[in-house]
Copies of this chain bind each other. A is one copy, B any other.
Amino acid sequence: MNQARQIEGHLYLEDLRVGQRFSSGVFRMDESRIKAFAAEFDPQPFHLDETAAQASVFRGLAASGWHTAAVAMRLLVDGLPFAHGIIGVGGEIAWPRPTRPGDTLHVESEIMEIVPSRSKPNQAFVTVKNTMLNQSGEPVYVFTAKLLAFKRAGGKIE
């Protein structure tokens, strides 16, 4: 499998292997968008107001963890080119440190496990560890995702 095909975005189950790695593009966190997202979904003072945030455990304005997670998804949609898209069943998440205004973020992904579906022979569950890093190389978000992947042959979606 060549790199170009990865970028084209049609990786079927037959193309995936444990240990395979992917790297996303870069996203810059914008302060006004941090506040707008928080106002809609996570209206807590440390996501909305610099002064309040200084007095909180975050010690300064921090993006909602769900904004960080949503930005990671945006990066993965282009950066993790599974055929039929990125369809997550669930997973584990962690926010080891805050995401700040001006941070430039990218996601490094690695396939950890591939488990065939018992009920649907053309599918498998693929565990992918996605680590989002800031411009200093510090992890800000880790999403160990259980994703669906599909075989190329018999590509009927059940």
Contacts and interface: CB of A to CB of B under 8 A. Distances in A.
Interface in A60-94: 64-67, 69-71, 73-74, 77, 84-94
A57 B41 CA distance: 27
A87 B57 contact: yes
A153 interface: no
Interface stretch (A14-22, A43-51, A108-116, A127-135): A43-51
20 contacts: A41-B70, A41-B73, A41-B74, A42-B77, A43-B74, A44-B85, A46-B85, A56-B157, A57-B148, A57-B157, A64-B70, A66-B70, A67-B70, A69-B69, A88-B95, A89-B95, A90-B95, A91-B92, A92-B93, A93-B93
Oligomer copy total: 2
Question: For the complex, would chain A's binding face be called helix, strand, loop or mixed by DSSP majority?
Answer: mixed
A66 B69 contact: yes
A40 B71 CA distance: 9
Contact of A88 (B45, B46, B65, B84): B65
A7 interface: no
Contacts of A67: 70
Interface in A129-150: 142, 148
A157 B56 CA distance: 7
A55 B156 CA distance: 10
